[in-house]
Structure 1
């Protein structure tokens, strides 16, 4: 389940959605543009931040029964912030903006995905919470770049 928030998976889905949207109406193109801009920024920011931070992942620290048989994730000192958390925050925020009646569903799915990062000991809870917060902030800032405004997704 944790792979659903991976940059390669989300990037592929966003690219396919963007290509398909070119044949759609104005609203579809606007939403696809906004998701692509938000996700691109959400993929780049954690990579930059991880270069400046040096937090050890819990899968390198936790030993014994608490490990529950999990493997290791990524680079050992790339725990902060959770890139998956940033991606989830940005996508959930963008989809909630585009489809406000489905916000609760998006938040529930995003929360479950984010929790997997803690469950597999890839990140500390604080890494994921800050990642979600950063992703949301990125998406909201991206609204200015993408032309996404309140009510602009109405058909």
Structure 2
């Protein structure tokens, strides 16, 4: 599968490296770069049209600038119409997606992991401006799924939301924009942050 976002290696050579970040993220006994490499090689083999569909869905199906207004609208409409469930879903979703995005941005700026499409080396950390870890798309997808699962009242709906989030997030690996561990970290972050948001909002008297 041809990469859509190549960065010429001659440009990479001029990018400054963060020495401390690189040392902190050096290979460890529990290093998962081999998993990242194996999954990437399999994904680039282009398994078929289904993989291409997932790649496109992963790119266009997870957009914070769409989800944030959507959850805000749910919040406003729920409050206006006296629908407590819709209002609560909007609160949890909006808080979870925004908080996940902020935390992910801080981590990205600190660890500076290079994207697979840019370097092909799962062990490259500390490159100034690199933003692969964690996956913001995965964080947003799982934050949305967690908000739905925490407020839907039906486990089947929650399970479907998480399944959809997994497929959409996986599209970022197929598109060669993220390593598998980027997706795993983003998914864990989005789930944890939104679950904490739901817990916090449930404890508030006016929630």
TM range (shorter): 0.7 to 0.9
The residue aligned with 1:98 is 151
Query: Post-superposition shift, 1:32?
Result: 1.3
Higher Cα Rg, which structure: 2
Q: Mark the runs of 5 or more structure 2 residues left unpaired by the alignment.
A: 1-56, 121-127
Corresponding position: 1:37 with 2:95: yes
- Aligned pairs for 1:67-86 within 5 A: 77-86=130-139
For 1:68, the equivalent position in structure 2 comes to none
Between stretches 116-125 and 139-148, larger displacement belongs to 139-148
Question: How many aligned residue pairs are there?
Answer: 137
Counterpart check, 1:88 vs 2:167: no
Distance 1:140 1:148 in 2: 12
CA deviation after TM superposition for structure 1 residue 124, in Å: 0.3
Calculate the TM-score normalised by the size of structure 2: 0.61
**Residue pairs, 1:143-154, within 5 angstroms:** 143-147=198-202
- The within-5 A match list for 1:42-61 is 42-61=100-119
**Alignment match, 2:19:** none
Please report the TM-score for the alignment, with normalisation by the length of structure 1: 0.80
Instruction: Please provide the CA RMSD for this pair.
Output: 1.9
Query: Does the CA-based 8 Å contact 1:60-1:76 persist in structure 2?
Result: no
Runs of 4+ in 1 over 4 A off after TM superposition: none
| TM superposition shift of 1:104 | 2.4
Q: What is the CA deviation profile of residues 93-134 of structure 1, one whole-angstrom value per residue up to 9, with x for unaligned ones?
A: 111122233122112211110011101111100000111011
The alpha-carbon distance between structure 1 residues 124 and 98, as it changes in their structure 2 partners (threshold 3 A), is: same
Indicate conservation of the 8 Å contact 1:34/1:148, yes or no.
no
Matched with 1:114 is: 169
Q: Deviations over 1:45-104 (max 9, x none)?
A: 111111101110011124xxxxxxxxxxxx961000001111112111111122233122
